[in-house]
Amino acid sequence: MRTYLKIRDGRAAEVSGEVVREQPLTVSVNGEKFLTLLCSPQKLEALVLGYLWMEKVIASLDEVAGLEVSVVDGRADVTLTHAVTLPTERILTSGCGGGITFRIDHRLFPRLHSTLRVAPEQVAARMRDLFAAAVHYRESRGIHGAALSDGQELLVVAEDVGRHNAVDKVKGEALLRGIPTEDRLLLSTGRVSSEMLLKAARMGAPLVASRTSPTEMAVALAEQLNITVCGYVRGEAMNLYAGGALLVPAADGATRG
């Protein structure tokens, strides 16, 4: 809890409330320093595993011989069952925290082939479920949420100051719990940028929905990779930017290209 001043209608009042926590977490793999993530100090094991999987450092949990996370020291030490060459070409993402990714070439991702079809009402309902499950968001309003859904319910929920981290945590927890991410909905409270879209592609999720907007590059990638993108999901309303997984009537007087 923090004490701060709330200013409203020309008056200031001292109040106490939650402020989002953020800390650095330095990840080492087989004794070699890989990178430092700025993140929220929850579900750090899931964050590390999800990030390593997203960056293709690991392909499954079977490759992880050990994982030790120290919140106090801000360290995560990963031991793999084999030697690995860590990627080095770092790309600064468009994340609000200045995230890092190593693989952004869409040619590394196969086009998805999915029979998943969901109604707009399902997407809207699951987005409401995400906000209901986002405990830290309700407390501080300064954090992102992400969730994995089968269309009927939320399977995994994660929160972090970084929207990329939240998605990595979702994948990491799915790995830990043995939950497949293919043919699922990926929900986010943050912007769907190109690297967020590629995370969905890596997970095999054919539909991405967000409370905010996608970028033009994300939409172009979605069209190439056969991923459905829904933005501005608020109440029962939403925008459909790409893909055919959303069951909607034909647009009046318009053709979506």
Alpha carbon distance 55, 130 (integer Å): 26
Neighbours of 142 (CB within 10 A): 14
Is there a catalytic annotation at residue 96? yes
**Which residues pair with residue 11 across a beta bridge?**
8
Amino acid at 31: G
Site of tokens 């979506």? 256
Order of strands across the sheet that contains 32-39: 32-39, 23-29, 75-80, 64-70
Alpha carbon distance 204, 215 (integer Å): 20
Catalytic residue among 19, 91, 96, 132: 96
Alpha carbon distance 48, 198 (integer Å): 18
Q: Biggest alpha carbon distance in the chain?
A: 62
Site of tokens 């200031």? 12
Neighbours of 44 (CB within 10 A): 24
Residues with catalytic roles: 96
